[in-house]
Structure 1
Amino acid sequence: MNKVPLFLCLFLFISNFFSPSLSEKCNPQDKKVLLQIKKALNNPYLLASWDPKTDCCDWYCLECDLKTHRVIALTMFSDDRLTGQIPAQVGDLPYLETLLFRHLPNLNGTIQPSIAKLKNLKTLRLSWTNLSGPVPDFLSQLKNLTFLDLSFNNLSGSIPSSLSKLPNLLALHLDRNKLTGSIPESLGRFKGNVPDLYLSHNKLTGTIPASLGNLDFNTIDFSRNLLEGDASMLFGSNKTTWQIDISRNMFQFNLSKVEIPKSLSRLDLNHNKIFGSLPQALTGAELQFLNVSYNRMCGQIPVGGQLQSFDYSTYFHNRCLCGAPLESCK
């Protein structure tokens, strides 16, 4: 068998060592954009590995496609030393599928408009930051989005009705902001997937649109807002809903007339004005968590299922609920 001459091996080693660009996989345009992003963020320590002399596909906080070597994920998180705004250059990474800025308390400004150019984006997670301004309408242009998380920010204004135009959305997190106005009627008209809706800890007002009753949501969390009126349309015996949390609002409806999904695992209605009695159908649900305290309900707590496994705090501060685990009915 022929042997490679020693001098040739040495030459190849030296060439690769001193000329890393010969074997670099990173797309040159992507690399240029990434270095612009680093500069726009004032060269944070989080991006210390972003050395122009090395292959960008080896840098931290990003991922390249194994075949095309284009940048498909940019993920920055957990660094209170990173300051400034989301750089406009993020929109110049055309193959990006995941964009994440999370747990960055000194990231400020508004949601960058250039994100609208990222037509391949599937996951957009801008959470636990100091971002402010509105939830932008342009997000509805990102038709491939499956996960949109804008929670734990300082976003204000109303919820754009256009978000229902996202056909592949599986989860929408707008919780823990300062959003106002009503829940758009359009959120009951999602076509394709029906996303989990997290709108809690805002300042939303008005009633729940009747259109939401037409969809089979897996998870609904409208807790800690200023919502009122009837929320019974969220229930239904033919639905596969897993969680409903409408606690700490001003809802007022007759719970005894509500049809309970057998799939319901978590139900939180505390601190409302809900009246009537507890439906017998609750005994057939797969409940792991229940809280109906601080309402206006009466009657005996149905016996069976998981209802007696919860303690008194699940039921207390109602008008006249009785039976285990509360005092027996007279």
Structure 2
Amino acid sequence: MQNSKLIIHFALAIFLSVFLFSFNNISDDSDYEKEIKTWHQNRIEGLKKENGWLNLAGLFWLEEGRNSFGGNTENKIVFPKDRSKAFLGDIILSKGEVFVETKADAEVFNENDKVEKLKLFPAEKSIVLKHNSLRWFVIKRGDRYAIRLRDLESPFLKEFHGIETFKIDPKWKLKAKFVPTEGKKIAILDVTGQTSQQDSPGVLAFTIDGKEYKLDALKEGDEFFIIFGDKTNKKETYGAGRFVYAAKPDADGYTYIDFNKAYNPPCAFTPYATCPLPPKQNLLPIEIKAGEKNYGNH
């Protein structure tokens, strides 16, 4: 009888241990899933903001000299005619400097100040001009200069319906060894055909199903920025690859790449972005079924 009680107590102890272990795992997974969903929701809200990617409405490369702009098709830079006065003025490119001169009735503003003449580039901070629902500023790509236009009433923004993702799976949060490559530069090509040499602080090495893979990282603020491609591209995910961030390594040289946070470049949402493409060494020969799936037809 005593032995039977011991057996029962032992069995109950095992059951309780298994139950608590399973409960803790479910709780951990739920917390992780909540983290990823929160991250993705913040990502969606970021796309919708005034400085997000969904409201891009134009990209206009500047020619040396005067570039007239406005809603009329006679301008060199043609803004949406239902959003702009016909002739707003001129954007002037002169030996690496960019200026704007507006018509008297243009109603172009920098913050709350009406603009007549203003140097746009280079400047201490990016100057954003506005007219009705339009916003625009200067960007530089290689040795070329352009006007990037936003429309706060853009159809891309109005038609946005969220981004489908793969099922959240903790297995795609991978421990990675950081291998420094001090002084190394890698060539990054963008969709406009411009190539830039960018500093790469190191390589992140990680293992999937017992096989090691490596990705060259770029430095962005206090994080690593990774442009990568994989075998899901052009099928389930955006054809030109995706982006993901990783934290700086710990004292032992390790960090994590969480592919559940892999996301589409801006070019997936608009034809007016100038996205970088994955360097050939960052094209993984496997499928990364995690993170954001493709969006639209861009």
TM range (shorter): under 0.3
Structure with greater strand percent: 2
Question: Scaled by the length of structure 1, what TM-score is found?
Answer: 0.23
Q: Report which structure shows greater RCO (CA 8 Å, sep ≥6).
A: 2
